[in-house]
Chain A
Amino acid sequence: MSSSPPAPRPIVDARGLWKRFGSLTVLKGVDLAVAERELVFIIGPSGSGKSTLLRCLNRLEEPSDGSIHIDGIELLNPRTDINAARRRIGMVFQSFNLYPHMTARQNVMLALRRVLGKSRAEAAELAGRALERVGLGERTDHYPAQLSGGQQQRVAIARAIALEPRVMLFDEPTSALDPELVGGVLAVMRELRESGMTMVVVSHEMAFARAAADRVVFMADGQKLEEGPPAQIFGDPQHERTRAFIRQIDRH
């Protein structure tokens, strides 16, 4: 028995996650724990299950087996109010998924009004502040079609952070962007990280992972093969599959 006080419960605590699509098994008993203010990067070849793992963490994908606690909430318990739980879990998608029929501000306002029950004036105020935070204070009345991909992704981040989530999930947030637009999105993510946001990021931005991640998780074939600080995973990977993957990435 250790005499040190028990470590605080991680904000994200997923254990033994399995996900089957018919005869295809995408997740094979994955554990993932993320502490408060930690930034965890998940890397791995396509088809490794990393996006599915992320999508399980807010139950956009229903795990076939396992348990998930987010900020102490038992996510997979059928009695859990999933809508209430999701407002504490922000999600950013590869394809932005902004509502095209609403302006940037309205995109951010929708959940503030309908989920948190804010008045129109208060929601507009909060939305404006969130958009300012991602550097789009001047673009609040633009429709998504009038914004660049990078700006759209920043609106999507504002839409999520306006709800003041306990953890943010990023599913390949820069993969759909032209190279010159990636920097703006990463800058916003860096600012979020510095403000103490707990983040789980699935991405191929290895330079960003090296600079900003506390921990890197390498997945392949639905399993977590290796994890550790970025210096170790990128500098001295232990597993053969990790070494092969890092070599391949570095060549690009």
Chain B
Amino acid sequence: MENFVFAFLNADIVREAWPILWQGFLYTLALSAITVPLGLAGGVLLALLATSGPRAVRLAAAGWTDLFRAIPPLVLLVFLYAGLPFAGIDTGAWGAVAIGFFLNTGAYYGEVLRAGIESVPRGQMEAARSTGLSRGQALAHVVLPQAVRNVLPDLVSNTLEVVKLTSIASVVALPELLFQARQAQNATYNATPIVAAAVAYFLLLWPLVRVISRLENKALAGR
């Protein structure tokens, strides 16, 4: 037991590793603040193209979505960061993360939002258009608000996964939480920093998990 506490719940180690863990936590926050909005923007764009464009555009959007859901995000990120420079394109670490998450996360958000848009009855668009609203106005004011509401639990769920996925940014040398925890582990020969990272993720994401549960209960009650 003493060994267990020493290896995993070591207060001295936490104190010692705190500055770099905190820095990692801030990186994870910053990465999330970039990747979630970018992914959402990509998702809205894809969902609109997949539901409202001409046939060729809809097919292209569906193919694009399939492609970037099938490519592992880690592979995509490494390619952008380490592969593209061979073509003379150097995005830098943050650029690679931004593009990679836009592509990967956007595809996932896009699928969720597409399902949401398709869940809104056709009559809603028709009613809006019959009053003279343009297609864009009808989407923005009538269809999208209902679409988002219909898939809100899935959207929040996806956001949860995106925040966790930011840990792959360590492969492009961005010192996010997990990366810093492993640095601390290597420096101290102790696993406590990893446990501390897990606790930090939990504190960050637990409110979101609660939100999902409440939304799902509400959706069930509304049926």
Chain A interface (Cβ < 8 Å from any Cβ of B):
58, 60, 83-84, 86-87, 89-91, 93, 95, 97-101, 110-111, 114-115, 156, 159-160, 163
On whether the beta carbons of A114 and B133 are closer than 8 Å, the reply is yes
Tell yes or no: B131 within 8 A of A by CB. Answer: yes
Q: B69 at interface (Cβ–Cβ under 8 A)?
A: no
CB distance from A182 to the nearest CB of B (A): 20
CB closest residue in chain B, given A115: B132
Q: Which B positions have Cβ atoms within 8 angstroms of A? A: 121, 123-124, 126-134, 137, 141-142, 145-146, 149
In the complex, 18 of the A-B residue pairs with CB atoms within 8 angstroms, ordered by the A residue number, are: A84-B132, A87-B131, A90-B130, A95-B123, A97-B121, A97-B124, A99-B124, A99-B128, A101-B146, A110-B133, A111-B132, A111-B133, A114-B137, A115-B132, A159-B127, A160-B130, A160-B131, A163-B132
Q: Which residues of B contact A156 (CB under 8 A)?
A: 127
Residues of B contacting A95 in the complex (Cβ-Cβ under 8 angstroms) = 121, 123
A91 nearest CB neighbor, chain B only: B130
A95–B126 alpha-carbon span in the complex (Å): 11
| Nearest opposing residue in chain B for A95, CB measure | B123
Q: Return the chain A residue nearest B143 by Cβ.
A: A99
Q: Decide: A89 and B149 in contact? CB cutoff 8 A.
A: no
**Alpha-carbon distance between A201 and B127 when the two chains are bound, in angstroms:** 17
Point out the residue from B131, B134, B149 that lies within 8 Å of A159, measured CB to CB.
B131
Chain B residues with Cβ below 8 Å from A89 are: 130
CB contact under 8 A between A110 and B141, given known A95-B123, A101-B149? yes
Instruction: Please pick, from B124, B126, B132, B133, the residue contacting A60 in the complex, using a CB distance under 8 A.
Output: B126
Contacting pair B133 A115 (CB below 8 A): yes
